[in-house]
Structure 1
Amino acid sequence: MVPIALLASLAAIIYAASYLALCAVSPWGRCRRCQGRRSHRTAIGTRRDCPRCDGTGIRVRTGRRLLDYIRTEYQAGNR
């Protein structure tokens, strides 16, 4: 029998690896604030461009930022 803690940690590792693979292949994702609609409603009901994505509807995924940070640090350490 395999302990449940081993299965849980294996599932977490597989999930993290698949997310990082997704970020490497497709670095852009929908903006969470406007859900990709490019604008959002303000408190008084008017529509404005989303300030997080600058009205594009897409943003760089968090995992892609992590991959870029790791690559930059690795390259800086090898100079």
Structure 2
Amino acid sequence: MTPIVLLASLAALIYAASYAIRCAISPWGRCRRCHGTGNRPALIGRRRDCPRCNGTGIRVRIGRRIAEHIRTEYRAGHQ
């Protein structure tokens, strides 16, 4: 049973490391609400800009936001 837990932990660590590298290389990702199109269908009338990404179709990845928050807190604590 222990090798399975070790293997699962190693897989989770590799996944987290690859996501951190991806966030460092490419901090922008597609908007999940509009799927990268930049507009949302309206109930009545014409399409409108997506309110989450302001019509651009891209947003900052969650991992990049977390990294920036940690960096800001670290710098604020060491002033």
Pairwise CA RMSD of aligned residues?
Answer: 1.5
Counterpart residue identity of residue 37, structure 1: T
Q: Any idea what the Cα deviations from partners look like across 1:16-46, whole Å, max 9, x if unmatched?
A: 1110110011100010011111101122363
Query: What residue number does 1:70 align with?
Result: 70
Query: What residue number does 2:49 align with?
Result: 49
- After alignment, is 28-37 or 43-52 more displaced? 43-52
The runs of 5 or more residues in structure 2 that have no matched partner are none
TM-score (norm 1): 0.92
TM-score (norm 2): 0.92
Write out the 4+ residue segments of structure 1 that deviate beyond 4 Å after TM superposition.
none
User: How many pairs align?
Assistant: 79
The runs of 5 or more residues in structure 1 that have no matched partner are none
Query: What residue number does 1:17 align with?
Result: 17
